[in-house]
Structure 1
């Protein structure tokens, strides 16, 4: 750290951007000696990294224990917007969830189930829900250990919208459109056009929408239509819209709609964890600082 301190002592007034701290093993280990090196000679700590605030790493939770600390403007905005949707949303509130795995979103599904009016489920995770309804899904992605969780949700009073048609490949690898029942050897890689239109209608009729996770393998143009339709609906609805970072934000940018939603979160995992718990390690650390703004 000494060469860095020498460099910092010589710079003109302004901002100096340093290398990613995760290259040092002390960062992810939350090593107290690494924290001591980081803060030596520093006067103030500002955390504006919402996308990393869910990680209890050295640079996130260590400095507030010793330095006057503040939340940056971006972090403040993220907490205000996500907190409003979590605690006082305009209704109906719809959560649009996609991506590959249910296991990555169990906590947030549990948390959102207490506040949302309905779920819209697409992406690879929808096939575990379809399997939970005893529908054949061919060779599509399925988390067998999550079927009981899906059954419990489906048997609850929650409104859960699942695809009614699927786009993917048949057993020979050829592009194909299926109904909700996939034949042996087929693989679903996107929601179908009918489902995309239905999901868009639900988004258009909502007053608050949170979207996290693409509807299909949008990186491949053959399987991008479902995600594109949802992204366009997010851009056109009069509802208050939040896109939860990660692949959803990338899809929004790919289709040119990123400026047409109310808030694109800079944290995929952080936004989900905040919606689930209402707090993050980085936020707790700031609140615990002796002098915080």
Structure 2
């Protein structure tokens, strides 16, 4: 997809309405993870350097169209200012007199944060009048919030039709990386999909088996596939009612020449607890009270060989219950090997989704992946092959 970037924009003296995602975790009024704040810095810097007035639009939590004081964006102005290296003003509304007065007071290069767009019901309804009220304070629109691009809201989609629209630097980075992974990848392409439930990733699996050369399934969802193939899964989490669906996906993979990798050995324990006694079992060699909690060493070794024989990797979801050692071993070993290949320039490795990012950070190798997306729902919907309204609206 082609879209306009800030490289082509006339910025001097312009009011730039910039949709960002700074929906960060907070505790006692303090930001506990500033990853999303830091992600917007390249766009803010580029706009300021070009002489634009930078006006940030964002949501926070789910106030459902009402003003909820504890969901105000006001506490983010100070940490943003620290990261930007310049004052960040705050306006108590994103439209109306308060917003207009704050925008009118700006000089070129200034940064202003407007109040939570979701305090207005028109935001999530993608109401045209609300979008026009937002647009009244801007000369151009920049979307730098890929993680919110799967929502057709006024500030993510509607605005793009009312003002000259551009992709921000983080949006450009995200779209370029995703195109390398699934749009126009270097083949062979290997996918890894983990997590607990097949039911939440049916669309994803059905899309991927038609596009990938190889697909490895791990985590709790692998149990459903093993059960569908007639293997005993003991007391493991398993969506047994989806056994036929799993068999359908296996058939679909065969029809599209996508090689499926399911576990060939498993790590089991009777209870899920830190330091629990874990045993490696062959498929089917599981006691009634045992639970499958990680991929076995042979499974991980085979997966690493598949990575070494691939040119592109796209990863969503852990191979086991990585949050609780020793059931993190499979995910950590595979992640570190993928990172090693990526760092050596032998593999384009793209990963995304909340649990995946947490797993890569826990393995200490996220920085060595080609690209790690912090977007959750948007990343999944993109992998499912769905059109993202916020991205489609930027198309030229």
**SS of aligned partner of 2:294:** strand
**SS of aligned partner of 2:243:** helix
Q: CA RMSD in A?
A: 2.3
1: CA distance between counterparts of 2:353 and 2:113?
23
1: CA distance between counterparts of 2:122 and 2:239?
34
- Give the direction of change, closer, same or farther, for the CA distance of 1:49–1:176 in structure 2 (3 Å limit): same
**SS of aligned partner of 2:322:** coil
Shift of 1:139: 2.4
| Long gaps (5+) in structure 2 | 1-92
- 1:106 maps to 202
Q: Using the TM superposition, name which of 271-280 and 193-202 deviates more.
A: 271-280
Residue of 223, 227, 241 corresponding to 1:131 = 227
CA contact (8 A) 2:124 2:154 kept: yes
2: CA distance between counterparts of 1:19 and 1:89?
40
Shift of 1:16: 2.6
Residue of 160, 173, 177 corresponding to 1:77 = 173
**SS of aligned partner of 2:227:** helix
Residue of 324, 327, 334 corresponding to 1:220 = 324
- 1:192 maps to 296
CA contact (8 A) 1:92 1:207 kept: yes
- 2:148 maps to 52
TM-score (structure 1 length as normaliser): 0.88
2: CA distance between counterparts of 1:222 and 1:83?
35
Establish whether residue 246 from structure 1 lines up as the match of residue 354 from structure 2.
Answer: yes
2: CA distance between counterparts of 1:139 and 1:23?
46
2: CA distance between counterparts of 1:180 and 1:20?
51
- 1:3 maps to 98
- 1:31 maps to 127
Shift of 1:88: 2.7
Shift of 1:123: 1.0
> What is the correspondence of 1:144-223 to structure 2 with a 5 Å cutoff?
144-155=240-251, 156-157=253-254, 158-170=258-270, 174-177=276-279, 178-181=281-284, 182-223=286-327
TM-score (structure 2 length as normaliser): 0.67
Considering Cα pairs closer than 8 Å and 6+ residues apart, tell me whether 1 or 2 has the greater RCO: 1
1: CA distance between counterparts of 2:115 and 2:269?
43
Q: Deviations over 1:230-262 (max 9, x none)?
A: 110111122111112322122112222112111
2: CA distance between counterparts of 1:30 and 1:234?
40
| Long gaps (5+) in structure 1 | none
2: CA distance between counterparts of 1:28 and 1:8?
23
Shift of 1:205: 2.1
Residue of 378, 382, 390 corresponding to 1:270 = 378
Q: Using the TM superposition, name which of 83-92 and 210-219 deviates more.
A: 83-92
1: CA distance between counterparts of 2:360 and 2:143?
26
- Give the direction of change, closer, same or farther, for the CA distance of 1:265–1:172 in structure 2 (3 Å limit): closer
Q: Deviations over 1:71-108 (max 9, x none)?
A: 11221222222223323322221101111222222222
Establish whether residue 259 from structure 1 lines up as the match of residue 363 from structure 2.
Answer: no
- Give the direction of change, closer, same or farther, for the CA distance of 1:187–1:47 in structure 2 (3 Å limit): same
- 1:62 maps to 158
Q: Deviations over 1:106-164 (max 9, x none)?
A: 22222221221111111111111111111111222222343222102323423111112
2: CA distance between counterparts of 1:285 and 1:95?
28
